[in-house]
Structure 1
Amino acid sequence: MNMDIVLGLQWGDEGKGKFIDLISEDYDITARFNGGANAGHSIERHGKRITLKSLPSGIFMKGVQNVIGTGTVLDPVSLRREILNLKEFDGTIEPENNLIISAKAHLVLPTHKLLDIFMEDNPDYTPIGTTRNGIAQAYSNKILRQNLRVGDIDAPDFKSRIERILNRDYSVLAGGDTVLPPWEEISREFFEAIEFLKKFTRTETELFLNTALLTGKKILAEGSQAAMLDIDHGTYPYVTSSSTTASGACSGLGISPKKVGEIFGIAKAYCTRVGNGMFPTEIFDELGEEIRNKGHEFGSNTGRPRRIGWLDLPALRYAIMINGVTQVILTKADILSGMKSVAVCTHYALEDGSMATISGTLPENGLPVLKQMKGWEGDITAIDDASNLPEELKTFLSFLNDELGVPITYLSTGPGRNEILKLNRK
């Protein structure tokens, strides 16, 4: 059996959670391979919506095992809060029975968040527009080899080692103008969350996952954030702190690339971005505000308004290329319903010609060239047969299929869990 991968192809918020929730019942295991509580996957259940931050989106499926992999960073306080919220949302879910956490996943400490805030607000550092959840600090201390991992919580000297790190970080922060909460308060909350964490299975998840593959189990690897936010291949420095690509799934879970099957890439019919960084197709007039409000384009984790832009095909081709995407899932086409025309960036005009694909950087003086296409009318959320889609939307999809060279196999027609169409694969 192979491991399939789901990841975002733009700057996040493409609707990965909905698609994973849709297909996860076909898998035995869903596994998060990167990131932490800095991104949220929104899922609708029974007319209610919940945002998962660290938990895999397969947590709702009976009989599906969920894994938080080695490539993630785990905030015990945030995870405890998330699980308690989940149980309140649906009392039938028992994460203690279907969640396994990598013993090698690194911990996010309370002072990591404070250091994140300090760097975002300090003029001596470049403001990135982070969620201030301490993710970058945890990853940086991982690289510096100064951090502790989930498996360390059972060590007899764990508490003293953590207290030494917290005291060290407090000393650094005390030298600035940061308003610090009482050390005793954050320490108590953290250690309470650690005791809560001990309820869950913690193991060498790479061994668990590879053994599962050998015994015929199907794994779905779930990415956080998106390709254009990748630490290496994204729009640096305005990126996340982990590998968000398909190769990141292999390293984050400890699974060979030879065992990868389908790579599902999620993209919106337009683009959004939260925080700073290049966004060449951004819409600045009232149309952007209209799409933002109609599409409820506010961060699922932070509530921050998302920047709105037209679909960027050069960037999308780049994301498809570096990930080896085999199927594209298109979301939010319903938000563009009722517009007389929609635009798509086909290439960038340069002084010496044009380019079809951009990487994580845009050449100086590169201007997006937009192709205007006829919009589609009507509410598409109730359509349950692709043949009944508006002709203009069919033309839009056909154009994208030709331009991307990868089939669009699913079309999300609305926010509901079942408002998604399976399309014929070209």
Structure 2
Amino acid sequence: MPALVLLGAQWGDEGKGKATDLLGGSVDYVVRYQGGNNAGHTVVVGDQKYALHLLPSGILSPGCTPVIGNGVVVDPSVLFSELNGLNERGVDTSKLLISGNAHIITPYNVTVDKVTERFLGKRKIGTTGRGIGPTYADKINRVGIRVQDLYDESILTQKVEAALDVKNQMLTKLYNRRAIAVDQVVEELLGYAERLQPYVADTVLVLNQALEQDKVVLFEGGQGTLLDIDHGTYPFVTSSNPTAGGACTGAGVGPTKISRVIGILKAYTTRVGSGPFPTELFDEDGEALRRIGGERGVTTGRDRRCGWFDAVIARYATRVNGLTDFFLTKLDVLTGWEQIPVCVAYEIDGRRVEELPYSQTDFHHAKPVYETLPGWSEDITKAKSFSDLPKNAQNYVKALEEMSGAPISAIGVGPGRDETIEVNSFL
């Protein structure tokens, strides 16, 4: 079946947008299946840079139909802002489809996110404050607002009332905030309905029919494996499933239809927000990775925490996602280091551990065990094939591939669309 899942194999920000864009010209549909505008992709096309937060990266590929699946949470104001920005730059956005079952981020979800995170103080999770978590909580609590609800004012009003019954009690009595008026929220949400209407579709039906017709469908995850609500570094995670299984539930496509699962790996490791990070660097090497790699969150604007490559995490991502391939990004950032450390295992209470510990306590106490590989000084941004890379860069890629447990089928040697070495075709 011509269905591919493309996801982050670390803590997100690995360069999924570049990978999706690379494939976008060869696929018929690109589907976001989870997350919201807390995710961000940067795509460079020629001398143009595009920052996408909610829209699938495939929206930049002519002939490709971008889809926002049922597993995504949608902030309509952010959606329209992104669409307006792309339209102003001459990008055709008319083919976008949005699942009627996707949940809406309401104004009260954003308010709850911000006040609860502030209330946690030192125990904060490091959320983006965009209402993502509270929207998923409403979904699970069965008081969520779905896109289709905007077209039935009676149902919408009932659902907003049910959600605010509890939230207003919490806001006024616990956080000393003003209650939120039901009518005001309903009016704002109804104001989005007309403009959303042309995009709303039964995307589960559309995607399954496309696969039956041998169309190529690419499922694009936001964030990364270690931020998965079930399989990540809980509780410092997102509120959805960026792992491969999330593509099935978040888009309504059965697992037997997935043919390849591609994990995006940075040639080093970064993380945004709070939580454990064994290879994090607090020295000039960490600052150099941040500066050379331009490590600032696309959506948040926050500096990313930087560290050396962690093979333990890569092996874990291979296992929980069933990865068939890796796309290694930002190899060019490592140019100039004489020696490059790679984390091959952890030391926990005097024990060497080569697989990701399931215990949160153990992971918090994990110290990286490094092996050092020789670096290179040659510019690699013009490399067009694997053999064009300096020998030490080739050896670095081969070592990461062996440690990570899946073949590296593409290598990013610069930010541009054409600055990629394809070792094996994904299609």
| Range class of TM-score, shorter chain | over 0.9
- Distance of aligned partners of 1:65 and 1:359 in 2 relative to their CA distance in 1, 3 Å threshold: farther
- Distance of aligned partners of 1:359 and 1:151 in 2 relative to their CA distance in 1, 3 Å threshold: farther
Are the aligned partners of 1:233 and 1:359 in contact in 2 as well (CA < 8 Å)?
A: no
Which runs of 5 or more structure 2 residues have no equivalent in the other structure? none
Instruction: Give the equivalent residue in structure 1 for 2:13.
Output: 13
Looking at structure 2, the residues matched to 108 and 142 of structure 1 have their Cα atoms a distance apart, in angstroms, of 10
Letter in 2 for 1:405: G
Instruction: Give the equivalent residue in structure 1 for 2:220.
Output: 222
Per-residue deviation, 1:110: 0.8
Per-residue deviation, 1:336: 0.9
Looking at structure 1, the residues matched to 164 and 329 of structure 2 have their Cα atoms a distance apart, in angstroms, of 46
Per-residue deviation, 1:404: 2.1
- Whether 1:128 and 2:125 are equivalent positions in the alignment is yes
Instruction: Give the equivalent residue in structure 1 for 2:195.
Output: 196
Looking at structure 2, the residues matched to 178 and 405 of structure 1 have their Cα atoms a distance apart, in angstroms, of 52
Looking at structure 1, the residues matched to 163 and 229 of structure 2 have their Cα atoms a distance apart, in angstroms, of 27
Q: Deviations over 1:249-301 (max 9, x none)?
A: 11111111111111110000110000000101100112211110111101000
Instruction: Give the equivalent residue in structure 1 for 2:33.
Output: 33
Looking at structure 1, the residues matched to 300 and 150 of structure 2 have their Cα atoms a distance apart, in angstroms, of 29
Instruction: Give the equivalent residue in structure 2 for 1:142.
Output: 139
Secondary structure of the residue aligned to 1:240 is: coil
Per-residue deviation, 1:126: 3.7
Are the aligned partners of 1:9 and 1:226 in contact in 2 as well (CA < 8 Å)?
A: yes
Are the aligned partners of 2:46 and 2:416 in contact in 1 as well (CA < 8 Å)?
A: no
Letter in 2 for 1:128: I
- Distance of aligned partners of 1:178 and 1:381 in 2 relative to their CA distance in 1, 3 Å threshold: farther
- Distance of aligned partners of 1:81 and 1:92 in 2 relative to their CA distance in 1, 3 Å threshold: closer
The alignment covers a number of residue pairs equal to 421
Instruction: Give the equivalent residue in structure 2 for 1:50.
Output: 50
Per-residue deviation, 1:191: 3.8
Looking at structure 2, the residues matched to 351 and 122 of structure 1 have their Cα atoms a distance apart, in angstroms, of 33
Which sits farther off after the overlay, 62-71 or 137-146? 62-71
Q: Deviations over 1:147-199 (max 9, x none)?
A: 12111111142553365367544553233556669968876654433332123
Looking at structure 2, the residues matched to 357 and 409 of structure 1 have their Cα atoms a distance apart, in angstroms, of 23
- Whether 1:62 and 2:59 are equivalent positions in the alignment is no
Per-residue deviation, 1:102: 0.8
Are the aligned partners of 2:156 and 2:186 in contact in 1 as well (CA < 8 Å)?
A: no
Which sits farther off after the overlay, 8-17 or 144-153? 144-153
Q: Deviations over 1:24-54 (max 9, x none)?
A: 1111111111111111111112412121111
- Whether 1:115 and 2:112 are equivalent positions in the alignment is yes
- Distance of aligned partners of 1:284 and 1:181 in 2 relative to their CA distance in 1, 3 Å threshold: farther
Secondary structure of the residue aligned to 1:272 is: strand
Letter in 1 for 2:407: P
Secondary structure of the residue aligned to 2:343 is: strand
Q: Deviations over 1:4-38 (max 9, x none)?
A: 11000000000000110011111111111111111
Letter in 1 for 2:232: G
Letter in 2 for 1:368: P
Letter in 2 for 1:218: V
- Distance of aligned partners of 1:399 and 1:362 in 2 relative to their CA distance in 1, 3 Å threshold: farther
Letter in 1 for 2:399: F
2:246 is aligned, of 245, 248, 271, to 248
Q: Deviations over 1:309-360 (max 9, x none)?
A: 1111011100111101111011111111011111100011244642211056
2:152 is aligned, of 150, 155, 167, to 155
Letter in 2 for 1:132: G
Instruction: Give the equivalent residue in structure 1 for 2:389.
Output: 389
- Distance of aligned partners of 1:399 and 1:124 in 2 relative to their CA distance in 1, 3 Å threshold: closer
Secondary structure of the residue aligned to 2:110 is: helix
Looking at structure 2, the residues matched to 253 and 24 of structure 1 have their Cα atoms a distance apart, in angstroms, of 18
Secondary structure of the residue aligned to 2:383 is: coil
Are the aligned partners of 1:340 and 1:376 in contact in 2 as well (CA < 8 Å)?
A: yes
Instruction: Give the equivalent residue in structure 2 for 1:368.
Output: 368
Letter in 2 for 1:145: R
Q: TM-score, normalised by structure 2?
A: 0.93
Letter in 2 for 1:69: G
Instruction: Give the equivalent residue in structure 1 for 2:325.
Output: 327
Instruction: Give the equivalent residue in structure 1 for 2:304.
Output: 306
Looking at structure 2, the residues matched to 136 and 271 of structure 1 have their Cα atoms a distance apart, in angstroms, of 25
Letter in 1 for 2:34: N
Secondary structure of the residue aligned to 2:211 is: helix
Letter in 2 for 1:281: T
Secondary structure of the residue aligned to 2:221 is: strand
Looking at structure 1, the residues matched to 361 and 268 of structure 2 have their Cα atoms a distance apart, in angstroms, of 19
Instruction: Give the equivalent residue in structure 1 for 2:355.
Output: 357
Looking at structure 2, the residues matched to 243 and 11 of structure 1 have their Cα atoms a distance apart, in angstroms, of 13
Looking at structure 1, the residues matched to 176 and 324 of structure 2 have their Cα atoms a distance apart, in angstroms, of 47
Looking at structure 2, the residues matched to 389 and 342 of structure 1 have their Cα atoms a distance apart, in angstroms, of 16
Which sits farther off after the overlay, 171-180 or 398-407? 171-180
- Distance of aligned partners of 1:253 and 1:349 in 2 relative to their CA distance in 1, 3 Å threshold: same
Per-residue deviation, 1:374: 1.0
Instruction: Give the equivalent residue in structure 2 for 1:4.
Output: 4
- Distance of aligned partners of 1:292 and 1:349 in 2 relative to their CA distance in 1, 3 Å threshold: same
Letter in 2 for 1:160: T
Identity of aligned residues (%): 39
Looking at structure 2, the residues matched to 189 and 363 of structure 1 have their Cα atoms a distance apart, in angstroms, of 47
Secondary structure of the residue aligned to 2:259 is: strand
Instruction: Give the equivalent residue in structure 2 for 1:102.
Output: 99
Secondary structure of the residue aligned to 2:198 is: coil
- Distance of aligned partners of 1:83 and 1:162 in 2 relative to their CA distance in 1, 3 Å threshold: farther
Secondary structure of the residue aligned to 1:31 is: strand
Instruction: Give the equivalent residue in structure 2 for 1:295.
Output: 293
Secondary structure of the residue aligned to 1:199 is: helix
